[in-house]
Structure formats: C-alpha cells, structure tokens
Chains A and B, each alone.
Chain A
C-alpha cells in the first residue's frame, strides 16, 4: 500500500519529499475509496449469504428470525434435498445436457464462423445478414411456437433435443464472436496447409480450430453457464419429471416439499456452486469475451 503511494507521489512531485501529514492524508483518501467498493460488495453478496444461511435452518425459524444465524445448523437439509427432492437426478440431467450442448454449440458455431471469416463465395453477404438478423431476435419471441415445432420435429421431452435447441439458440452470437476472432488468424498458416495438400476439413481441424482455442473457450464458458441456468426453454421442451433439469426440478420442489423453504434453499445452493466454481476457473475468458465483444463495435 505505502509502496504504491510513495512511487506515485514521487512521480508527480519529484522535487518535494512528502511529509508524514501528506502521507496520512493520502492514505485516508485511498481508504475512503474502498467504502463504495465494499458497500456494493455487501449488496452483491447479501442474497447469496441469506440463501446460504437459510439452507441450514429449521422451517419455523425462517418466520421468527429470518436474518439471524440458525440456532441449530441442519446439515441434513442438503441430504434431504439431494435424495428426497431428486436434486441428484436433476444434477445428472443438467450436467449431461450442459456438456453435450456446449460441445455441439462450439462445433456448429465454429464451422460457419470459419467459412464467413476466411472464404468468399456468392451469397455470402446475404447469408451473413441472415445470421446477423438473429442478434436482433429477443429470446422470448420464439417461445410461443417453439414448443409446437419441437414436437413436430420429434425432439419433445428429449434431453438430446433440448441440448440441440440450446446449441442452436446461441448460433448468431457465437458465430459473430468466433468470426471476429478467426479473422485475425494469419493467412499464411492456412496457405501453408493448403500447399501441403490440406482440404477444407483439414484446414478447419488442424489450423483454424487450434488457433481459435481462446475464443472457443470463451464461447464454451458462456454457453455452459447459460445452459446450466436456463429455465424457460426447458419448461417448454420437457414434460417427464425424471428428465427435469436443475432449475425446473427445483422450482417443482416447492410443491413437493410443502413449503419447505430451507430444503429449497439447500437445493439452490447446491446448483449455484457449480456455476460459481466454473465461473471462477474460467473468469478470465468471460471478462475477455465481454470486453472484446462489446468494445469492438464502438
């Protein structure tokens, strides 16, 4: 801390050595800066902290003293949620759909992104405009008839079908992001591969994909977080309780558990933790993805 202040003051006023009073004032000003940061940090954390504490409570305690620490910590709430409320089953479903959908989303978005970024053909402008149009479609406007279409193509109440629906829902944005990145890959690499006799498949697999790993990771991270938390599409596409994903299944618990809020909270905490861990591991790519995606257009 003092290190930073010293160097910055010296930079600004190289001739004057700061007195003890100046340094204290400087330090106080800097500590003052932390007040808004910590305040907003507490506001951010509060709902999570509350649900975490609630997950260990007794039901009656929730009404008498909802913000205090539990008198007795009921760890068995977690066990109940996992087994009686089938959170274990929903977690398996969610995990499977997330993994499959993310792999599919990355693959089907990287393929057209490669074509749109590297190869010229007739109709390219028209097709690209067609893909970009998808960026303007509010997600909610497809809901009404998506269920009908999913039934017609035989993907209703099918976890693989749901994984596909998720993967294709992200196509416009993912293609857009990957294309921008792939445009920066040097042409020479591609040309050298072609000289060695590589076709489109080989160029895509051995040159474009390996060079795009950072962007692919960004897309995969966003998509996995999206699928893990998605709720409405899963309600539209699924009907059998044994196929429910975490958010949908947990929403149903409330009825089953008969207003057992602590069990509900325990189930929520269990499904938030994977999101959190995943984000902490890949947060670098999230930050990179937002900054690159948003600031490029300005």
Chain B
C-alpha cells in the first residue's frame, strides 16, 4: 500500500522532492535570469514612458508600438527577413538536395565531402563576415576580379545599391547553410529503402528519374521540414546583416533584418537610441517568432492526425 501511495503522489521510488529541486535549480535559475528575465524586462520597458535613458513608472499607452508600425525601417527589415527565406528556398535547399542526392549515389568520399561542406558552419561567423565584407565591398575584391577578367560593366556597389544589396547580404548565409542541410538530407536518403532504387533501375530509370520519382517523394516530409525550419531561421537571422552592412555608402538600415536592427540598437543604445523603442522591436521579434513556431506545431499536429 505504501508503494501505491508513493506512486500516486508521483515520485519514482528513490527520488525525493529536495533532490528533484536541487537537480533542476541551477539550470532553471540561470535560464530564468539570462533568457526569460531580459525579455520580461523588455516587455515592461516597451510599455513605459522614458525620459532620456531612465524609464518613468508611467504607462505609455502603447506609444512605442504605434511608432513601430509607422517606422519604415521596421517594415523594411521584415521584408528583408522574407528575402532571406526566399534566398534559402531557391538556392540553399535545392543545392543541398542536389549534392546530397549525388553523395547518396555510391560515389567515393562521401565522408570527405560532407565534412568539407560543413566547415562554414563551425568557423566563427565574425571572421567569415569580415572575409566576405572585404571580398564584396572593396574595390580589390569581387569588383577588381570582374575588372581583371574584362567584365568591368558588371561592377556594382554590391552592398549599397537599393534592390540589390538586400539580396547580396543574404548570399553568405546561403553559402554557409548548404552544408547543414546536406547532412540532414543524406541521413534522410539513407533511410529510403534500397530496394526501391534497385527496382526502378531494373526498369531502366536514369538518375534524373530516380531523383524525381523515388528520392524526392520518399523524403518529402524532410524537405517540407527543411523549408519550415528555414523560415523560422529567417525570422531570427541577424548575424550577417549585423556584421557586414557597415559598408561605406550603404544607406542606413537598408540591409537590416529585424534582428540585426535590434542588435545594432543594442550595441549603441547608450549613445544614440532609445531603450524603450529598442525593447519594443525586440519584444515584437520574440512574439513573431513564437507565433510562427506555434503555428508550425499546430499545422504539424493537424497534418499528422489526418
């Protein structure tokens, strides 16, 4: 009976409430202080009136939120977030799929190529950003190369020309991301039954047909998952836009995503910007991210139930 009573209380045999508390406490405390609390504080900040750098304990009647909806940089940043997703959708995933498909075709050196393609993921992104910044913006980089091979007509202010720079800034992220998806897709393709391929080959299917009729349909759910994760990642993306865009001549804010807009304000709020407004943007990004994630979960559940 004693055992039954214990289990009805929910503790597993040897576990004590104090023990459970002690095991959970450090991580939950640190997580609360360094992740949850900053966002909580920003929620409060975004609703207060500010005098210079000090918050007044007065409700601002959603003043900063109305400012945000009229801020063209806010909307421009959001559009850039969408651009990042589009770039990934049309370059990153297709390239990764093609290469993963080839690597799954009994070529030699799968391990070598997979590791090689993954390297951009593990190199400190600041350094990659500095390299790309030099290669793209300086006269001696890409433009110098174009001039040297006689394509001087194609020389562009790659990171400052409106309509072009917003796409160019996304290219390094695309370059970096391919290796990640290759690992995912190779694992997915490895899970497809080998008999399917052999049967199709016996029927005389060529490589393109194998890709079109066997591989892609078999890993469809993984590809859909990749596009969704790419979207969620695009909402949060900020690193490259934050680290690269200080190109001379680039109009302020043109290349920003919402995240890099916030990061820039976070770095400079003491000197130039308003912490109340920056908090408002930050809270908005958090809300957008949560809403998107919850929608994805719901749709996922719904599609699995059907």
Binding site for B on A (CB under 8 A): 1, 4, 8, 11-12, 29-30, 33-34, 36-37, 40-41, 43-45, 47-48, 50-51, 62-63, 66-67, 108-109, 111-112, 114-115, 118-122, 127, 130-131, 134-150, 153, 164-165, 167-169, 171-172, 175, 194, 198-201, 203-204, 225, 228-232, 235-236, 246-247, 250-251, 261, 264, 268, 271-272, 275-276, 278-280, 283, 286-287, 290-291, 294-295, 297-298
Contact = CB atoms under 8 A, between A and B. Distances in A.
Contact of B123 (A66, A229, A236, A251): A229
A165 B34 CA distance: 7
A271 B123 CA distance: 9
A111 B126 CA distance: 32
The 8 closest A-B pairs by CB, nearest first: A229-B124, A168-B30, A138-B236, A291-B187, A200-B19, A143-B266, A142-B38, A145-B38
A279 B286 contact: no
Given A119-B15, A247-B126, A47 B30 contact: no
Nearest to B226: A294
A119 B20 contact: yes
B135 A47 contact: yes
A40 B117 contact: yes
Interface in B234-271: 235-236, 238, 242-243, 259-260, 262-263, 265-267, 269
Interface string B213-243: 0000000011001000100000110100011
A140 B119 contact: no
Contact of A119 (B12, B26, B95): B12
B127 A279 contact: no
A119 B141 CA distance: 58
A298 B42 CA distance: 34
5 contacts: A108-B26, A145-B38, A150-B34, A276-B123, A298-B225
B132 A279 contact: no
B216 to A, nearest CB: 15
Given A44-B116, A272-B127, A279-B119, A112 B27 contact: yes
B192 interface: no
B263 A140 contact: yes
Contacts of A45: 116
B135 A172 contact: no
Contacts of B48: none
B78 interface: no
Nearest to A171: B31
Nearest to B127: A268
A141 B106 contact: no
Given A11-B198, A294-B229, 16 more contacts: A36-B98, A37-B99, A41-B116, A47-B128, A48-B119, A48-B123, A51-B131, A118-B12, A136-B289, A138-B236, A143-B262, A144-B38, A144-B269, A149-B38, A229-B125, A268-B130
B201 to A, nearest CB: 5
Contacts of B37: 145, 149
Nearest to B131: A47
A115 B16 contact: no
| Chain B residues touching A, range | 35 or more
Contacts of B73: none
A12 B205 CA distance: 12
A115 to B, nearest CB: 5
Nearest to B141: A66
Given A47-B131, A142-B38, A298 B289 contact: no
A150 B13 CA distance: 40
B140 A121 contact: no
Interface string B1-45: 000000000111111110110011011101101111111011001
B184 A138 contact: no
B35 A246 contact: no
B282 A144 contact: yes
B106 A8 contact: yes
Contacts of B285: 138, 140-141
Contacts of B84: none
A47 to B, nearest CB: 5
Contacts of B103: 37
Contact of B262 (A29, A34, A144, A247): A144
Given A200-B15, A295-B188, A164 B45 contact: no
B210 interface: no
A227 B139 CA distance: 33
Given A144-B279, A297-B225, A136 B290 contact: yes
B184 A295 contact: yes
B140 A140 contact: no
A298 B222 contact: yes
A180 to B, nearest CB: 16
A280 B28 CA distance: 33
Contact of A62 (B33, B140, B293): B140
A287 B266 CA distance: 34
